[in-house]
Structure 1
Amino acid sequence: MNYPYIIIDDNQESVLKTKAIADGFSELVFVASANNYADGLNLILEHSPKLIFLEIDPADTASNLSLALINELYRYLKVIPKIIITTSKKDLAFEAIQYEVADYIIKPVQKIDLIKSILKIKKSIGEDDGFIAQNQVAHQETKVEQPKIPVDVQKPIEEEILILNENDQELLEEHLQTPVDVQETLEEEILILNENDQELLDDQLQTTSDDTTEDDVVALDETQELLEGQIPETYIQQSKPNVEQPLVLCIKSYGDYRYIDASDICYFQADNNSTDIHLNNGEMVTAFKTLKHFEGVLPYPFARIHNSYIVNRNYISRIHTGNAVCYIKNTTTKLPFSKSYKENVDLIISEFANGNYLEI
């Protein structure tokens, strides 16, 4: 099986090194490479590769490369390609695992590391293929071909079956013909039994009419249902439909767990090694994580527009490209955006235009 692949890395030298090692595998087919977030996303959507080599901690921050690219793929693709992270640090390995990447390779990429990654991918795909093939064989084995009967033998067999059916019919009719006197006797016995059952039920109801309990009433009702030949109805509890839960951020600090609905967050502001989270009610919460950390884990509709700001696009009321600022709804706050993140701002503008939108 061939694996068309794309390399996304801000360092062109690293791209060439990865490609040189990958060229040694006949099943790997190079498609293209990109050095930034936007070009990489466009290449993936255009070529639909089976494998992606992705740098998530670039030296050039303007490339905007991070795990957020994987989140973006879920917006457009039903089947996400196998993604191998290639980076120089181990710090983001745990976060990468949460994104279900195929492998995490530390630079410089070695041939043996790539061999292991390809073998793991082959094994996972091979197990699925083997399971499908096994099911197909089992399904074929259950189909037993009926033996074909020659025409000259088939006709006598059909005649014998017809004779047997006629004999069976006569025998059945003999059993069904019950003498009239026996039939009347059976009807009288059935009537007597029904009357006795009714009298028994009436006696039970009379003896419990004065000091009956709820349990006794239930028991009598069940007895009456059984005598009448009724089966109590069984009610099946309907399962609740699966509803996607809204994202909740937990800000943890020394045993203090603060839960924040992501929909209430207007924007994030960097403050050295911590980040200030501004809410729609005017409150501010400090988290001891860097803004880069939040950029890597936050899904849509959050987008980074500046080295110091990540904004929730649902709270943007105005974008002034001339002054390079975004306005926050129901406030006087203006957030600047930089040239390095201008592509994210352009994407926000295009998303507004794709919705229920009227430009005047």
Structure 2
Amino acid sequence: MQFSYILIDSSYYLESTLEHIKEYDDFLCVAICKTRKDAINKILELKPNVVFLTITSTATASDSISFSILSELHEFLDELPTIIVLSDVKEAAYEAYQRGVSGYLLTPVDSNELRKCLMRYQKTHKALYKDTISIKSNGDYNFIRSSEIVYLKADNNTTDFYLKSGKVISAYKTLKHFEKLLPFYFFRIHHGYVINIQYVSRINLGKNNCYLQNNEIILPFSRTYKSNIDTIILRIS
């Protein structure tokens, strides 16, 4: 089971923090944000399970990262993702917990404290995801494990599911409909395609092609979804 996270950080410790978190394969980075505006937009778009929010003692810019992000998110979301605050000062801890955050770590991040924080999260969120999707076609119901889906292809108002076994299942609903139901490791790369990044074997930025299943499948990606391609590359590399 994997959990998605966004790292909000404009500090000196961004790279080292990211490297520490990436040691835990159960947590998948879906975005890195360096400004308040970008952070809010990405959280609303990607709906991550966890947000690492870095608060520094020297932030002064108008778009600086601060606890005000939490107040703004409450305007749009009934329930916030799990918030773990990273800070270079102890003094902000009281305010953090008053605002309902789930963890507070000092930067530079201590690997032992991070491990405890993530293990605590995993223990309390074991049943977060259903790994099966129901595909209905002419009264025929197929129950497919998400991990068996290689990619989805839009076909007018229907969607074709291409499975690891080679089987193709068609459903009479749009790609947009299923995109909302799939786990976070599925990314839209084109108007007509959503892929499971677990099967990505190569990405060619020059040709705008994404290769799946050891280069056996070649799908185009469009500039509209280039940010998703960047996220896939970040995760795999």
- Name the TM-score, length of structure 2 as normaliser: 0.52
Match of 1:43 in 2: 36
Q: CA deviation at 1:352?
A: 1.5
Q: Which amino acid aligns with 1:281?
A: S
Does structure 1 residue 335 correspond to structure 2 residue 219? yes
Q: Is the 8 A contact 1:249 1:260 kept in 2?
A: yes
Give the alignment partner of residue 163 of structure 2, picking from 273, 279, 300: 279
Moved over 6 A (4+): 38-41
My pick for the range that moved more, 253-262 or 307-316, is: 253-262
Query: Is the 2:188–2:225 contact (alpha carbons within 8 Å) kept by the matching residues of 1?
Result: yes
| Distance across 1 between alignment mates of 2:35 and 2:165 | 38
Corresponding residue number in structure 2 for 1:351? 235
Cα deviations by residue, 1:27-48 (Å, 9 ceiling, x for unpaired): xxxxxxxxxxx899953575x7
Task: Report matched runs for 1:290-329 at 5 Å.
Answer: 290-329=174-213
Which residue is equivalent to 1:76?
A: 51
Q: Which has the larger radius of gyration?
A: 1
Give 1:293 deviation, angstroms. Answer: 1.8
The whole-number CA distance in structure 2 between the counterparts of 1:334 and 1:269 is 13
Q: CA deviation at 1:83?
A: 4.5
Q: CA deviation at 1:288?
A: 1.3
For residues 68-102 of structure 1, give each alpha carbon's deviation from its aligned partner in whole angstroms, at most 9, with x where no partner exists: 72523x24259793253xxxxxxxxxxxxxx8579
The offset of 1:250, in angstroms, is: 0.5
Change (3 A) 1:250 1:69: same
For the 8 Å contact 2:201–2:215, the answer to whether it is kept is no
Tell me which residue corresponds to 1:251: 135
Q: Measure how far apart 1:331 and its partner are.
A: 5.5
* Rounded Cα–Cα distance in structure 2 between residues aligned with 1:249 and 1:309: 17
Deviations 1:285-316 (A, max 9, x none): 11111112223332310000001101111100
Match status 1:264 vs 2:148: yes
Whichever residue aligns with residue 349 of structure 1, its letter is I
Of all paired residues, the percent bearing the same amino acid is: 36
1:112: which partner in 2? none
8 Å CA contact 2:135–2:141 kept in 1: the answer is: yes
Tell me the matched-pair count.
Answer: 147
Instruction: List per-residue Cα deviations over 1:208-247 (Å, max 9, x = no partner).
Output: xxxxxxxxxxxxxxxxxxxxxxxxxxxxxxxxx9843651
Does the CA contact (< 8 Å) of 1:68 and 1:295 recur in 2?
A: no
**1:342 Cα deviation after fit:** 0.8
Q: Aligned partners of 1:272, 1:40: CA distance in 2, in Å?
A: 35
Cα drift, residue 338 of structure 1: 0.5
Q: Which runs of 5+ in 2 are unaligned?
A: 1-30, 54-69, 81-97, 99-123
User: Residues 327 and 68 of structure 1: is their aligned pair in 2 closer, same or farther, counting only changes over 3 Å?
Assistant: farther
Hey, what does 2:15 align to over in structure 1?
none
**Conserved 8 A contact 1:68-1:296:** no
Gaps of 5+ in 1: 1-37, 49-53, 55-64, 85-98, 103-128, 130-240, 354-360
Q: Which one has more relative contact order, counting CA pairs under 8 Å at least 6 apart?
A: 2
RMSD, aligned α-carbons: 3.5
| TM-score (ref. length: structure 1) | 0.35
Deviation at 1:336, TM superposition (A): 0.4
CA shift in 2, pair 1:339/1:263, >3 Å: same
CA contact (8 A) 2:137 2:170 kept: no
| Counterpart for residue 61 of structure 2 | none
Give the SS at the match of 1:297.
Answer: coil
